[in-house]
Structure 1
């Protein structure tokens, strides 16, 4: 009985809240999801796989998958890419699959300053497994038995809609940053016809960071890179601030981030570790919750794998984004 009521509470929270995008903690391991202007910004073709399991203690409560490919084309002076993204909520009661195409154009103003303009156009299929929802009048309060409910069955349990985004990012010496705007058309995700409360709000992302090379002074002097970063996102009534620091030393990278949502309540700490080779990168991160949901959620696991293939484009300006 307690489990049924708890599950019902989660459903009501998700259905009552304004729709929001799935999030990743390894921001730069899924760069075109962060900002379409990152399309084709590596000097080789890039193939990325991303997986995130949030609240793993409760099963597959919030699970994200992403597979993407992008490449720079010298004749276009820009990049082309594609991504398939799947988001599952409440053990797949709500599932969203998106297929997007990306294009970016590279503009070089001088040897020290360049930027990219990016566009994204996609189609999304969202489905609600309504038969698995549990409502109060379906539960006998004394015995816990379940009955057939009297709720109105939604007409739009399965939705199919277009979605568009734009972005810009640039680099000046060792500093980089950008802005992206997702869901320009604010697609309607309402499950009931005529309900205008299901519009997907525009998401604004602002990100910037820097890379500096350092020497470790000591018996074993080795060169490493320090990269501080800040990412701010706002969607509907939801705001999120991420502040982090990466340290890269040859084939090893590590990072630590602090995440805070709307208000002054801290949300989580993020710890990352990765291995970097010339043709691939692999990373793992774990979110440790700092809010009152910590004991229930048990954090989040995330894994990324990136492959680089094909010839290198020597005319492509090197982008300084971190590996994770």
Structure 2
């Protein structure tokens, strides 16, 4: 027997396979949640960086599908060179929650990433992510088929006959990734361009995620390919085309688009007054159109995006102003916080 609410949720999950990818944190503003895009990107931040994302979708249902994440990245510096980081460490947490029965996935992860320099303009970033994920569900809020009678309908006093479930399941999670970067310092005005290409594999250990005590269900590996660049148009304008391809088992997600950055005025000393405007558009193939806008300074970026469903589910997902809303905040430290390595490595 299936829970009545879970049937609806089950169908929703499969219809959202292009955007939700199972139990993983997937955001439309994926460039602002880098640790969930590729573990190697912990080495891409030259200063201490804190970011948060919050996403709400399917507001047409009683309990919307929500996804939240928070990440902190601290660069690693070698004691003999204070100018450029050689890697970074990070910590991140995320939570997905859906349905009236509270199907929730919560993850806590640690990241370590290092830079392998080919030369000054070409670097390879490598990283690993380890942590734990917990899945919880409140079966007492479900309505089971055995609890319905032909006269009175649902009757909670009737035993469900289902006793083989666990309400909470904790399991380890291991992921890795690599990113090739050309012009990793992103000296766009001097070099004119910067581009990257990366691959990551999440849940590489394929942990058992089943909430049925007598069964085992290996979590499929989530593969992600990313590519993009940043190009200088003039002193005020940069454009950044990018693509994300993710596939997990039989589910596939492809995001294509770009965003532009317009720099105006001169940045103030404390970095509080906005000095740039960011706007972008993407198409998640066979799923949705995405638009985003944001403002920022040299120390922070605030973004907002909206997903408009383009699939056959558009009619049901458009009720109550549905679609998906997402906000992001990224803060960078005005002062570099250094973690010095206690052993020597070849000079970068």
TM-score by length of 2: 0.80
Q: Which moved more, 1:147-156 or 1:126-135?
A: 147-156
Shift of 1:185: 0.9
TM-score by length of 1: 0.85
- Determine which of 124, 143, 146 is the counterpart of 1:134: 143
Change (3 A) 1:81 1:8: closer
Cα distance in 1 for residues equivalent to 2:325 and 2:136 = 25
Cα distance in 1 for residues equivalent to 2:213 and 2:36 = 30
Matched, 1:177 2:180: no
Taking the TM superposition and a 5 Å limit, the aligned residue runs for 1:101-250 are: 101-147=110-156, 148-173=158-183, 174-196=194-216, 198-215=217-234, 223-250=236-263
Q: Which runs of 5+ in 1 are unaligned?
A: 216-221, 261-265, 315-324
Shift of 1:40: 3.7
Cα distance in 2 for residues equivalent to 1:309 and 1:83 = 17
Residues 51, 302 of structure 1: 8 Å contact kept: yes
Change (3 A) 1:313 1:132: closer
Q: Which runs of 5+ in 2 are unaligned?
A: 79-84, 184-193, 264-275, 339-348
Aligned to 1:34: 37
Change (3 A) 1:241 1:12: closer
Cα distance in 1 for residues equivalent to 2:203 and 2:88 = 21
Residues 40, 127 of structure 2: 8 Å contact kept: yes
Change (3 A) 1:305 1:156: same
Cα distance in 1 for residues equivalent to 2:9 and 2:244 = 29
Aligned to 1:311: 335
Aligned length: 298
Aligned to 1:318: none
Residues 47, 306 of structure 1: 8 Å contact kept: yes
